[in-house]
Chains A and B, each alone.
Chain A
Amino acid sequence: MVAAAALALTAAACGADGGGGESGAASKEPLVIGMSLPLTGPVADRAKPGLEGYRYWVDEINRKGGMLGRQVKLKVLDDGFDQRTAISDYTKLIGQDKVDLILGTFSSDLNLAVAPIAERYKYVYVEPSGGADEIFERNPKYLFFAQPATTQKLPKQFVEMLKRAPADQRPKTVAFVTVDDPNTTQLEEILKRDLGALGIRTVLSSTYAQDATNFDAIVNRVKRANPDLVVSGAVAQDGINVVRSMQKLRFSPKMLYQVNAPTDPAYADGIGEGATEGILTYLGWSAEADYPGNREFVAGYRKQFGAEPSEDAANSYTAGQVLAKAVGEVGKLDQPAIAKWLHANTVETIVGPLRWDAAGRSQGEMLLAQFQDGKLRVIGPPSAATTEKVIYDKPSW
């Protein structure tokens, strides 16, 4: 919270500097990009690397001469993972502070609330997170998703893997433990349908609130249903708690597919080293991928922050790349023109080439990854796989 306040102060000070400039110096004023992130609250641990991804992108772009010849400054507010605060933050950034550009926040829950604000003010809104279909259903014209695919296609490679699995290794029953979030609830619906088509029967479906802390009783229901496969639709720490409760209750499913939590840097620490083996998740980005700029990003980020970049850091960096490319191509801060350019073109990013449909859904594909020997390895699609080995029978905890 203090860190956020300090950021806001710095940003405010920059704004004050700009206000006093003469009209001739206008082009030398920094270009201000506004955003509001859940820096405190239940997903704070993910927003921090998310912010660092943005910071890394800004530093890099400023080293290369800035955007439209102007240095770039971020103005960052903290919404505490609260929809109403996020709405008022973005309204303030656009309406009152008159920032030049905005960039997106984290989670489907917040983006669902913020995307319509950007739309109303006609500001291009590139979001690093928020793939739930609900967000795109109103056919926004200014929204662009900076991950390779929206929730619609998120579990595709997982379903493909199950199709490829030998018949005796394929799970027969599935239980869903899902946090109440637009992204994860949609994921559950999709998987229920697709797994049902493969003959995998749903034996339990349970949803918990975002502020749940006691998972033992919830997980006990899963244990009693005794499914072969558990699909854990988590947003952050909640996923770690779900696994910890399974361990406590001595329930180790044959297969565990969990979203979002496994890419949290605190994951292995949280569930215990060695317990990660065989856990499946999707990846929107891989540190090993060969897309232009990816290696430089991984190395540079490591150097600047002394840690491996997380998926969230990569996603915000990508959002920055998309915005910078479009603004550069258009050559001026003309929001409708920037949106039009993005709808018509493909942008090379560290998650691969991105292009969008009319509502801003990206048209790429998510990767399927599995923890093997303590590291996330890409196992699907086969063309992008970094290992051929697939563990169908997760070792018991």
Chain B
Amino acid sequence: MTLLAQTLIFGLLTGGVYALMSSGFTLTFGVMRVINLAHGALLIVAAFFTWWLWDRTGIDPLLLGLGLTVVMYGIGWVLYKTVIARVQRIDPELTLVASFGVAVAASGVLSLIWGTEARAATPSYFNTSISLGEIVIPRAQLYACVGAVLLLAALYALLRGTFVGRSIRACATSRNGAALVGIDVERTMAQMFAIGAATTAFGGAALAVLYQFVPDSHYVWIGRVLCIVVLGGFGSFAGAAAGAVILGIGEALTAAYWDTRWTTAVPYLLIIAILILRPQGLFGARHRLEGATT
């Protein structure tokens, strides 16, 4: 029983962080129909910024992650204006290739600046935990998960309660309709992409504290993000959260009860099952096609 409780706690704590990491990616797709393969690289960029600033200043890396949200928003905005928007005008599907190119370039630049050594931010609590009887809750995981959930709630509130959020949702439903009621679609798109990038700030900071990373760790993370999003349904905010928790718990259960060797295969097994049983994902809706923009 303790083992099950402990395993579920591991799964939930990991899942919370996965959820934030995937939220930006799934929103960018849901609203803009852009599969941003540079999302993993943005996470790693944020992780490097966090590690570097933490190393220099000693400020708590997770707090740095909150501060970096603004920086990553800016990077996202620039990336949209210089690459994504231009490519999308030529052929929307090219954004897939372009964003992958950005990811590869980013990893090269990171290794030129910081080298290929494995990095990790190790604040005083990185290897400590809270004990509840026989159950242990790793502090770093707990803080990262709580932060991620709060940010997800803030993001949800932003989408639901503000004009920017309503514009974004309007564009997601119908770009032409949104334009007709006076929404600046181009600006909203840039904001959406930048918000998607901003979510990688805390996600990357959590990554820097919880895992070791090197410049091309982005392959692992974009793989995981894709799994979560396919699982939950492309474009669905709730789906990303559910997919992340299922994946987190699935990995932990496999390691605890089955065979540690199979842990990394779990995401792919889940995806195969989902594609057969419910191709649109758990929370995905079959999207209505709109002639002009798809």
Contact = CB atoms under 8 A, between A and B. Distances in A.
B156 interface: no
Contact of A220 (B10, B14, B115, B139): B10
A240 B216 contact: no
A249 B118 contact: no
Interface stretch (A21-29, A40-48, A160-168, A337-345): A40-48
B251 to A, nearest CB: 6
Contact of B104 (A1, A45, A47, A250): A1
A78 to B, nearest CB: 10
A45 B118 contact: yes
B10 A265 contact: no
A345 B108 CA distance: 44
Nearest to B219: A41
A3 B140 CA distance: 34
A266 interface: yes
Contacts of B14: 214, 216
Given A209-B261, A209-B264, A270 B255 contact: no
B220 A272 contact: no
A217 B127 contact: no
Interface string B152-190: 000000000000000000000000000000000000000
A248 B138 contact: yes
B260 A237 contact: no
A217 B252 contact: yes
A377 B10 CA distance: 37
Contacts of A48: 115-117
Nearest to B9: A216
B263 A249 contact: no
Contacts of B119: 266
Interface string A180-216: 1000000000000000000000000011110111101
A28 to B, nearest CB: 34
B221 to A, nearest CB: 9
Contacts of A248: 126-129, 136, 138-141
Interface string A30-58: 00000000011110110110000000000
A338 to B, nearest CB: 32
A327 to B, nearest CB: 31
Interface in A73-128: 80
B139 to A, nearest CB: 8
A40 B261 contact: no
A375 interface: no
A244 interface: yes
Interface string B116-145: 111110100011110100001011110000
A207 B214 CA distance: 23
Given A44-B214, A248-B128, A269-B122, A211 B220 contact: yes
A41 B216 contact: yes
Contact of A211 (B107, B128, B256, B264): B264
Nearest to B134: A224
Contacts, number: 136
A161 B91 CA distance: 66
A216 B136 CA distance: 11
Contacts of A216: 10, 14, 138, 141, 252
Interface string B248-267: 00011011100111011100
Contact of A2 (B6, B111, B117): B111
Given A40-B216, A41-B216, A248-B127, A1 B261 contact: no
A81 B216 CA distance: 12
Contacts of A2: 108-109, 111-112
Nearest to A273: B122
Given A208-B261, A212-B264, A217 B7 contact: yes
Contacts of A264: 118
A7 interface: no
A212 B263 contact: yes
Nearest to B263: A212
A241 B211 contact: yes
Contacts of B251: 214, 217
A275 B128 CA distance: 13
A272 B122 contact: yes
Interface in B63-91: none
A269 B55 CA distance: 11
B252 A270 contact: no
B11 to A, nearest CB: 8
Interface in B217-274: 220, 251-252, 254-256, 259-261, 263-265
Nearest to B11: A217
A247 B127 contact: yes
Nearest to A240: B212
A14 interface: no
B146 interface: no
A271 B261 CA distance: 23
Given A217-B251, A248-B136, A270 B118 contact: yes
Given A2-B112, A45-B118, A250-B136, A214 B216 contact: no
Interface string B19-34: 0000000000000000
A179 to B, nearest CB: 10
A221 interface: yes
B3 interface: yes
- Sort A-B residue pairs by CB-CB distance and give the 9 closest, nearest first: A247-B127, A217-B255, A2-B108, A248-B138, A44-B116, A217-B252, A209-B264, A237-B118, A208-B260
Given A214-B255, A217-B254, 16 more contacts: A1-B215, A3-B111, A40-B107, A40-B111, A44-B116, A48-B116, A209-B265, A214-B14, A216-B14, A216-B141, A217-B255, A240-B118, A240-B120, A244-B127, A248-B138, A272-B127
29 contacts: A1-B107, A1-B215, A3-B111, A3-B112, A39-B116, A40-B107, A40-B116, A41-B216, A180-B261, A208-B261, A208-B263, A208-B264, A209-B261, A216-B138, A216-B141, A218-B260, A220-B6, A220-B255, A221-B255, A237-B118, A241-B211, A248-B138, A248-B139, A249-B138, A265-B117, A269-B122, A270-B118, A272-B127, A397-B127
